[in-house]
Structure 1
Amino acid sequence: MSSDVRRALGEDIAAASSSAGGVATVSAQVIDVTDTGVNLMVGGALLLDVSCADAYRNRAAGDWVALRPGSRPVVMWRLGADPGETDADTIRSLAREVTLDEQVVRAATWGTAAPSGSGWQQATVPYVRKNSEGKVELYFQLASETDPSPPAPPGRAPKPVTISPSAYGTWRSGRPDDYADYPVQGDWTGRGNRRGGWFYGTAIASACSGKSVASMRVKFTRRKGSGVNGKRPLHLYLHDHNSPPSGQLDLDAGPEELLSLSVGATGTATLPASWRSQLASGAARGLAIYASGRSDYMSVQGGAVTITFS
């Protein structure tokens, strides 16, 4: 942040704090979400890791928020339309998942006498089975049907799975770089461009075997102290290594700039359909990053892949 921008920001905050009516907040836009707060753009200045009140939930880049200035600024709440309808849809979706997770049969009882109450039909042959999710299914073959059976509930897609990398690393000049603890792209010192990789063995292909993949999303965090503070893109590639190679890390499909992050930020990228097909089949085994020069230099951690099915 330049001294002119700092001065202008300080003047704006001081004016807001001392104005008639005691205005206690200023508007700011979220640039990225971090592990401890958010990165904000305020009057052309980038503020890093600003803390957030508990009232600010479901944080996302692009949000406009109310910022309480001070020696330790705090984001108080999100500005914008009432999120009630969106929240209702989310709650309804979660409630459905919880319901499906519970046992379908309300009660399974027996005795030597006929059951009490109305609506019962006599079953001549009962059938029972356990499905792939461990849920009990009952079917009763009737001698005669006086009340039609309700339709069987539709099946649902397999639950999403999240696969974390079994290993990761950085390569420079055709060999592993022992001076980098996490995957790195670019070159900050002029000693040569780095490329980083995440390795999953056969876990991704095994998780997708026999299933129809709807999407794959990968989560990354840009580490602090690497490159410029502003948003820079990750240059993503596929690779075909089960584990870290002793020589060069080969780059296959790519690059794709699916995600840009400011320093300390966490974000999620949706992989292209062609990439998820290659990973699901085992033709590709993992993900990599590579850039040239200082412009997009960064160190990145994370790499957990979440797979959803249809």
Structure 2
Amino acid sequence: MDAAELLGAALAQGGQRARDTVSLQVADVTDTGTVNLVLPDGELLLDVPCAVGYRDRQAGDWVAVRLSAKPVVLWKVGADPAQTEAERVQDIAEEAALDAQQVRAATYGTGVPSGTGWQQASAVYVRKVSGKLELHFVVPSVDDPSPDAPPTRAPKPVSISPTDSGSWRGGRPDSYADYPMQGDWTGGGNRRGAWFYGTAIADACAGKTVSSMTVAFTRRRGSGVNAKRPLHLYLHSYTSPPSGQLSLGDGPEDLLRLSVGGTGTATLPAAWRTALATGAARGLAIYATGSTDYMAVSGGRVTISFSS
């Protein structure tokens, strides 16, 4: 049943007129920017377009929906976002200011500079910390106290895309699956899918302290039921796809549930991010049995944040 049929059934059941505005909850934001909505009877209304004023779309939002043959999400229902927006703008401004190399003025000439407070440096030291340049000048005496050095900033987050991905079935790569898959829909055997990153994750974490690690996925259309289903995540130890069976490491962890077309981000457990950061594990996999949680999944982009 498509979106229009589901909507017609909902209108008939509730006695509502077309063009009424109702509140519904977002099940997922999809890979095309539309949303899947949960109807009062629990069914999904799929791929509903949104007005441009509905920003920062997330699963769980309550939204105002204009009901018609082609429903549209008009706006998000909730608290005034002004305070959140102000905080976000302030954070962006502070980040930009910290990124800038700040020197008030730079002049040159054949003689000494005019004005008071100048000190002649006998030596200059330079170093780079977290990608930023630091200078230190040696002066004969300190007439004017040196300004405090800003605190050392944590390294910027790093995002790593997979170098390869695929599915395995019956102990070998599955040439019929273009994307990582889990479960079995036709009785041909359970699939397991995986994403590969070479040594890029451990390389990015070398010498740093990881504070969090997330991974973004999209549940592809055309596989399994439309309702939300969990991704059963595992670790694996391969830098590239194996020619035989894909062996699974730690897991499963059900960190994310997605409806068809839905996108989402899973935060990896502390033990998993440690394994990936040290190279004890190299990538991520999915695996399920039977048709209940059968799905195809794309994405796999890992984002790593650091505390030092």
Unpaired runs of 5+ residues, structure 2, are none
For residues 158-202 of structure 1, give each alpha carbon's deviation from its aligned partner in whole angstroms, at most 9, with x where no partner exists: 111111111111011111111100000000001111100111111
TM-score by length of 2: 0.92
The corresponding residue for 2:140 is: 143
The corresponding residue for 1:57 is: 55
TM-score by length of 1: 0.91
Q: Relative to 1, partners in 2 of residues 1:107 and 1:16: Cα closer, same or farther, differing over 3 Å?
A: farther
The corresponding residue for 2:10 is: 9
Does residue 75 of structure 1 match 2:76? no
The corresponding residue for 1:205 is: 202
The corresponding residue for 1:20 is: none
Match of 2:221 among 212, 224, 233: 224
The corresponding residue for 2:91 is: 93
The corresponding residue for 1:284 is: 281
Does residue 298 of structure 1 match 2:298? no
The corresponding residue for 2:235 is: 238
Cα deviation, residue 74, structure 1 = 1.3
Is residue 104–residue 136 contact of structure 1 (8 Å, CA) maintained in 2?
A: no
Letter in 2 for 1:88: A
Is residue 27–residue 42 contact of structure 1 (8 Å, CA) maintained in 2?
A: no
The two structures, once aligned, show a CA RMSD in angstroms of 2.1
Identity between Structure 1 and Structure 2 (%)? 62
Cα deviation, residue 13, structure 1 = 7.9
Letter in 2 for 1:289: I
Is residue 165–residue 196 contact of structure 2 (8 Å, CA) maintained in 1?
A: yes
Does residue 103 of structure 1 match 2:101? yes
Match of 1:195 among 188, 192, 196: 192
Match of 1:26 among 22, 28, 32: 22
Q: SS at the partner of 1:100?
A: helix
Unpaired runs of 5+ residues, structure 1, are 18-22
Does residue 248 of structure 1 match 2:245? yes
For residues 54-109 of structure 1, give each alpha carbon's deviation from its aligned partner in whole angstroms, at most 9, with x where no partner exists: 11111111100111222222111100111122212221111122112221323332
Is residue 220–residue 297 contact of structure 2 (8 Å, CA) maintained in 1?
A: yes
Counterpart Cα distance in 1 of 2:270 and 2:147? 38
Cα deviation, residue 211, structure 1 = 0.8
